Amino acid sequence: MNTHTVLDPANATRQKPWWRGAVIYQIYPRSFMDANGDGIGDLPGITARLDHVARLGADAIWISPFFKSPMKDFGYDVSDYCDVDPIFGTLADFDALIARAHNLRLRVLIDQVYAHTSDEHGWFVESRSSKNNPKADWYVWADARPDGSPPSNWQSVFGGPAWRWDARRGQYYMHNFLDSQPQLNCHNPAVQDALLGVAQFWLDRGVDGFRIDALNFAMHDPQLRDNPPAPPTDKPRTRPFDFQLKRYNQSHPDIALFIERIRALTDRYDGIFTVAEVGGDEADAQMKAYTHGERHLNSAYGFDFLYAERLTPGLVKAAISAWPATPETGWPSWAFENHDAPRALSRWVAPEHRDAFARLKALLLVCLRGNAIIYQGEELGLGQVDIPFAQLQDPEAIANWPLTLSRDGARTPMPWTTCADDAGFGSDTPWLPVGQDNLARAVDLQDNDPHSLLAFTRQCIALRKAHAALATGEVLRCDADAGLLVIERAVPGETVRCLFNLGEAPVAVPADLQRGDIVMCVNEAQVQVLPAFGAMVLRA
């Protein structure tokens, strides 16, 4: 089943790709819609609710992992890359989802997890069986030090050493995350071949691209050199991982060569988009390397906003400035929220200003140069749900409780119907509680209300589509002071000026910024004065 045109590079024509300036809607399948009543969202549930995404105006959906998995890290521990886990449905259900999405003119992106698998994956089962089997070096194995300790001082993200002793092989295996997520040896060409085969399987099934998870974790230092200690900091350190500079356990330069192979594959198909998730201390340099020129990925996004405690003009200016419109610099993507980070409205604003701030935030996202990624429920103004310890599912939060804010609080079920006991999710006992505050923001309450945040988000996306300067324009100006953020963007024939007051006090608009026709106002903004959390877009 191949719904793509396979291109002949010699005959391919150049045109603006669909993804440049796209709005992408992230779906966390466990929590979007439950079609069979078992408490867990699934692929048929996503298909049933795609109209909501289409009405929003998004160009594409990104679906978090739905592959076969023991679910110790909720799908990011893959045991079969080329099949659907039964809790989510079947391959036929996925095909139906693709067909429905394409009928609604929505592209479909899926996650790819290339840094590690589950320890239940057949590749690892074979690899750990001996030191001389065909897949013996498909994972990162190493002998103990003379005293029996791990081969290096590397620490895992979720806490504790990044090495686990395996008596069957008489060696340690590496894991950057859970010890049930063994590290693939992506230095091995055979492993790369297998992963490219996975990508081709899904491309042939009709997907329109990939979000590649934790890509900078895909390769390690083969010499297994110890990481140096991190410099002192005033910030609390909740994990041993935070005490090191991650110089050798990740971010090997050869990752860029593997990316070239990924790009060579995706270029054989028409209209494929690739975006990498890149976190860590060296994220900026790595995102640039992974998106450099025409032989690497199309885009990357980092954690500029996902873990920021405050949204400030300076933060936005720094993020925008890091991606200049130069030939050697790639195309950025931006997310204020996702399944791994606390809801932005719970981080960035006091409850009494929440509604006003939500509108400013929605407008700001579509005014940034790059792709805009909206996490499910963000268009409703969902907040972080406080999950009691007894109901926690997130392994990282359980391991580091109470010092780490649970990711579960941002993964709660989507509230579709306010009056239903199950919030319209499809089960009276969902895998996580909906959250009483979020129930009051259900889709049915907002859907036909022209003054709702949902309606406003639709307007923001429509604004972006109506003005090429917002969708793909370069940044002519980005100024930031204590409260006022100014972004000016342009394409030939159109210039727009975007003004944002990110503070609680009114801000006077300088006279030279007042010129132009107002195309959108937020929170009763006026040309001369922006009230608290006021914003406006002018055609200059």
CA–CA separation, 11 and 20 (whole Å): 22
Kind and range of the H or E element at 87? none
Q: Apex CA 112: angle with CA 111 and CA 116, to 5°?
A: 130
Tell me the three state secondary structure of residue 333.
strand
For residue 277 the two structure tokens come to: 């998730």
Q: Write the CB contacts of 146 (distance below 8 Å, at least 6 apart in sequence).
A: none
Kind and range of the H or E element at 362? helix 354-367
DSSP 473-533: -EEEEEEE-SSEEEEEEEETTEEEEEEEE-SSS-EEPPGGG--SEEEEEETT--SSEE-TT
Kind and range of the H or E element at 498? strand 494-501
CA–CA separation, 516 and 508 (whole Å): 16
For residue 222 the two structure tokens come to: 């083969």
Q: Write the CB contacts of 125 (distance below 8 Å, at least 6 apart in sequence).
A: none
Whether the CA torsion 330, 336, 337, 340 is positive or negative: it is positive
CA–CA separation, 424 and 407 (whole Å): 22
Active-site hit among 277, 394, 396, 422: 277
Q: Give 216's DSSP letter.
A: G
Catalytic residue check, 213: yes
Beta strand 141-142 with 80-84: parallel, antiparallel or unpaired?
Answer: unpaired
Q: Which residue has the tokens 């191949």?
A: 2
Active-site hit among 213, 337, 340, 408: 213
> Alpha carbon of 230 to those of 251, 284, 369, 396: distances in Å?
16, 18, 33, 21
Beta strand 331-335 with 371-375: parallel, antiparallel or unpaired?
Answer: parallel
Q: How many CB atoms lie within 10 A of CB 428?
A: 11
Cis peptide before 146 (omega within 30 of 0): no
Q: Write the CB contacts of 140 (distance below 8 Å, at least 6 apart in sequence).
A: 173, 174, 182, 183, 184, 185, 220
For residues 275 and 299, the answer to whether their CB atoms sit within 8 Å is yes
Residues β-bridged to residue 501: 484
Q: How many CB atoms lie within 10 A of CB 344?
A: 26
Kind and range of the H or E element at 113? strand 107-113
Beta strands in 147-254, from DSSP E residues, in sequence order? 163-166, 171-174, 209-213
HEC readout, 95-164: HHHHHHHHHCCCEEEEEEECCECCCCCHHHHHHCCCCCCCCCCCECEECCCCCCCCCCCCECCCCCECEE
**Which residues are catalytic, by number?**
213, 277
